[in-house]
Amino acid sequence: MRRPLQLLAHLLVVTLGAVSLVFVALRITGDPALMIAPPNATEDDLAAIRRDLGLDRPPLVQYLDFLRKVTRGDLGESLRYRRPALELISERAAATLELAGAAQGLALLVAIPLGVLAAVRRSTWIDTLVTMLATAGQSIPYFWLGLMGMVLFGVQLGWLPTSGRGSLSHLILPAVTLSSYSLASLTRLVRSSVVEVTRADYVRTARAKGLGGGVVLFKHTLKNALIPVVTLLGLQVGGLLSGAVIVETVFAWPGIGRLTVEAIHTRDYPLVQAGVLIMALLFVVLNRAVDVGYRWLDPRLRAADA
């Protein structure tokens, strides 16, 4: 029972902290009425907009009202769209999950074999090439990689759609772009982890027993070498969500990241608050899930808990 309660407390502290911070930050940096009003609006128009949106009330009253509503699952109504913020976000959640899921899946599918290959063939040209590519993947910014991919595969070669969401082919460029960083860091981690495990006593013992190279690699080396990979996956959730903001904008991908960024530009308080709340929740829950999975996979941690 201890862990679920702990998780709940963790959730509460992180989300309340994040949302309160956003609540204050938004209010000291701008007035949404100015963003909503047409170019010829007068001060009376602005006052009417503020009254209409309840922004003429003292900030503390707005904050308490906001918290009260959150406890009932009401994240408020978007100022620009005049629709419930939660509804807007849930409409977009599938797009972001699709993109982030595909990116992470791709990263895993490519990084593990690539990392293992580099480790097994370490100090050869293959290792050098993989390490170089991984370093490049970690240093190239998403927007640049995305635009280059778009120009090459979309405009010059005409193989893939340049932007938007629709068929599987629409997903390829954004997913590859978003996967670049985690693919690169996973590859490097798998490589170093496999290299390290290969030097471990039990691997030497396995070899000494006369086991074949394949059995040693998959049964003894890889299994143990992948444990840190699971930890890294958890850490990458935050990176994926922030990367999605950029990739979604470049590729006109209608996800939560882009929605939140636009909401920030237009000072759409409830929508930003709801976006941050959902992302914070997602971050905590996924991190915890990885944590739990990690304990489940690594007997040493379970033993430590007992």
Instruction: Give Cα separations from 178 to 231, 255, 306 (angstroms).
Output: 19, 13, 39
Eight-state DSSP code of residue 150: I
CB of 206 to other proteins, least distance (A): 16
With respect to other proteins, which residue has the nearer C-beta, 200 or 230?
Answer: 230
* CB distance 294 to 234 below 8 Å: yes
CB-CB contact of 62 with 54 (8 Å): yes
Smallest CA-to-CA distance from 272 within 7, 207, 280, 1 is with: 280
Shortest reach from residue 74's CB to other proteins, in Å: 16
Of 147 and 195, which has the nearer Cβ to other proteins? 147
What residues contact 204, with CB distance under 8 A and at least 6 apart? none
Helix extents (H) in 121-141: 125-139
**Which C-beta is closer to other proteins: that of 24 or that of 132?**
24
Contacts of residue 213, defined as CB under 8 A and 6 or more positions apart, other chains included, come to: none
Considering the complex, state which of residue 73 and residue 158 has its C-beta at the smaller distance from other proteins: 158
CA distance 264 to 170: 27
Considering beta carbons, is residue 19 or 263 the nearer one to other proteins?
A: 263
Between 91 and 135, name the residue whose CB sits nearer to other proteins.
91
Footprint of other proteins on this chain (CB under 8 A)?
A: 29-31, 34, 36-45, 48-49, 51-52, 80-83, 88, 91-92, 98, 101-102, 104-106, 108-109, 112, 147, 150-151, 154-155, 158, 161-168, 170-171, 218, 222-223, 226-227, 229-230, 249-252, 254, 258-259, 262, 267, 296-297
Q: Write down the least CB distance from residue 51 to other proteins, Å.
A: 5
Closest CB 55 distance from other proteins, rounded Å: 11
- Shortest CB 7 distance to other proteins, Å: 22
Helix (H) or strand (E) holding 3: helix 2-29
CA–CA distance, 174 with 167 (Å, rounded to integer): 12
Q: How far is the CB of 139 from other proteins (least distance, A)?
A: 21
